[in-house]
A and B are shown apart, each in its own frame.
Chain A
Amino acid sequence: MKRTFPWPIALDALALLLWGLMILRYWWTGRLAVLLHPDYHWLAIGAGWLLLLMALWRGAALLWSPKSLNTPHIALLPRRWSLAVLLAVAAFGIIYIPRPFTSDTALARGIAEPVALTRSQPRRFARNTPPEERSLIDWIRLLNVYPEPDAYTDEPVNITGFVIHPPNWPDDYLLAARFVLTCCAADAYPVGLPVQLSGDREEFAPDSWVNITGTMMTDTVDGQRRLVIQPQDVLPVPEPKNPYEF
């Protein structure tokens, strides 16, 4: 082959291929759940396949007609820059494994304060679900609507969340928390309920996942009167497949 190798076309095809693979890999490895609300997985997966098809089309030009049909276009960024940015991000995204948010993030977002839920109109109320079937977010939504902790005294509770050790709290208190998504990780906000342990909270490492069964009570934590879980059982559990609640 005497012609010079058509690098621009090859790099285009490579960038498309890597972007498609990046998205599809998150899907194959189940990490898409860390990034997106499940309702929108199909959109991302569709985009991944479309990118692969575009990569095939672009790659085909390498074999059959390496001269590109030059449609006029007003470029904002030099083509090489955009291509370099796309390639670099895709190459990184293929290697990196996205991780769900941790207790540090939740603390930085002010989860320890009782008014943790500033936004979001609840889409459903859980008042009619039996208390032991309410998820963590169901409890928080209930509290948002009717904040008096005494209203829930002695109601049974069974929730799963990750462990947070708020720095100002006594050693026998931890926070069982969960991030809530409406669209993607960008809008994740943490919610949590205090748990009063019988022993030291060091038994449960921060960010480890626990299932808590017990009853509700009212207690004063860090100067605030709050709804607190009095557990019968705190069981370590593996990280759920989908770490968020909705």
Chain B
Amino acid sequence: MLSLFALAGAMSQFNQGLTLFLSLLVEATPFLLLGVAFSSLLAILVDERKLVALTPKNPVLAAISGSLFGCLFPVCECGNVPVARRLLMQGAPSALAIGFLLAAPTVNPIVFWATWVAFRDQPSMVFWRVGLTILISVIIACVFSVQKDLRPFLQPAIARQLLPPEPEPTLATATSDSPLLTRGTYLLQSTGTVKLDQPLVSTLDTAVLPSATWTVKAQAVLEMMLQEFRELGAVLVMGSAIAATVQVAIPREWILALGQGPITSILAMMLLAWVVSICSTVDSFFALSFASIFTSGSILAFLVFGPMIDLKNISLLLTTFKSRAVIYLFVLAAQLTFVFTLAVNLYTSW
């Protein structure tokens, strides 16, 4: 009889887990589709070169505009690395590229909307999330802008295609119409005769088909959407499964003990953000399932830190940056997130 009860309890827990899992999937799928649709459209249709020519050269202003670029490129953290790489290769200042890299997955309309939907009861979460992300991104971007020449931080294949930093910024407007990258041909060292006006890496990044017809472009957009959906969908499934399991299987007392401490809760949520690697367009739904137990600061840490650096996008970052730079990014982002969200936990009543 007792085992029957135990079985019934386990069944009910199992059903609860499945309902949670499916509800996360069904709620997140529309936002995931929107995210992949936009990032695919942009990858095919937008020419970042024109944007780069328009942005300020002052590091702080560049960092700020970079972190706001996400409003124009609503990509999640999987789409932002290729875009940041294209920005770098098209001569963007490092502050701009790094600011974009860190902030774009969060500071964009789709994520804004998704966070709003998820935290309708706590609208301030949206503003904290966006504000803190911009702040941290700008700080890190400014730190990186001290390094005028980013090439030592980049993977050799990409560094080879970059120009050395420009000595006189006034040149920028005069040359903005000319194909920037051809000027760097003389930089090629032992690698032979790769033509720089056809950047090697851009074939890896973009599917830009300049002279293609609309049907071909539409086909390419759909193709890319499908690829991203397939991949991010699988990550979403795993993330949802983890969230559901944590809620159902881990004893409530443990989670309560962890989630109520101002420091432990932040560390736990940051670790979770790093491991789960859920896409930024849908991570607010994931965080939502912890919101009733964990401190607000820790939920904020999850929402700010996760999109910047996680297990999944480290592999993506490594396609562009050397491991040393990725470690700098990771450590800086983690420390700043921790300090700011701890301040939120300790000094705000929110």
> Per-residue 0/1 for B273-304: is the Cβ within 8 Å of any A Cβ (1 yes, 0 no)?
00000000000011011011100000000000
> Per-residue 0/1 for B224-246: is the Cβ within 8 Å of any A Cβ (1 yes, 0 no)?
11111111011101100001000
Chain A contact residues (Cβ within 8 angstroms of B): what range?
35 or more
Query: Judging by beta carbons under 8 Å apart, are A44 and B29 in contact?
Result: yes
Q: Does A58 contact B (CB under 8 A)?
A: yes
Chain A residues with Cβ under 8 A from B27's Cβ? Answer: 35-36, 40, 43-44, 183-184, 186
Query: Judging by beta carbons under 8 Å apart, are A26 and B230 in contact?
Result: no
Residue in B16, B203, B219, B233 whose beta carbon sits within 8 Å of that of A82 in the complex? B233
Q: Does B183 contact A (CB under 8 A)?
A: no
Query: Judging by beta carbons under 8 Å apart, are A74 and B237 in contact?
Result: no
Which single residue of chain A is at the shortest CB-CB distance from B296? A119
Minimum CB–CB distance from B209 to chain A (whole Å) comes to 9
Interface residues of A in 81-110 (CB under 8 A from B): 81-83, 85-86, 89, 93, 96, 98-102, 104-105, 108-110
Chain A residues with Cβ under 8 A from B288's Cβ? Answer: 183-184, 186-187
Query: Judging by beta carbons under 8 Å apart, are B252 and A109 in contact?
Result: yes
Chain B contact residues (Cβ within 8 angstroms of A): what range?
35 or more
Could you tell me the dominant secondary structure of chain A's interface residues? helix
Could you tell me the dominant secondary structure of chain B's interface residues? helix
Residue in B20, B31, B122 whose beta carbon sits within 8 Å of that of A121 in the complex? B122
Query: Judging by beta carbons under 8 Å apart, are B316 and A74 in contact?
Result: yes
Residue in B18, B117, B316 whose beta carbon sits within 8 Å of that of A98 in the complex? B18
Chain B residues with Cβ under 8 A from A82's Cβ? Answer: 230-231, 233-234
Q: Does B319 contact A (CB under 8 A)?
A: yes
Chain A residues with Cβ under 8 A from B177's Cβ? Answer: none
Interface residues of B in 291-326 (CB under 8 A from A): 291-293, 312, 315-316, 319
> Per-residue 0/1 for A30-60: is the Cβ within 8 Å of any B Cβ (1 yes, 0 no)?
0010111000100110110011001001100
Interface residues of B (CB under 8 A from A): 9, 12-13, 15-16, 18-20, 22-27, 29-31, 33, 78, 81-82, 117-122, 203-207, 216, 219-220, 222-231, 233-235, 237-238, 243, 247, 252, 285-286, 288-289, 291-293, 312, 315-316, 319
Ordered nearest first, which 8 A-B pairs have the shortest CB separation?
Answer: A185-B23, A82-B234, A47-B30, A186-B289, A35-B23, A184-B27, A71-B207, A43-B30
> Apart from A43-B31, A186-B243, what 15 extra A-B contacts exist at CB < 8 Å?
A44-B26, A51-B29, A71-B207, A73-B224, A75-B231, A76-B312, A76-B316, A98-B23, A102-B16, A119-B122, A183-B120, A183-B288, A184-B288, A185-B20, A186-B27
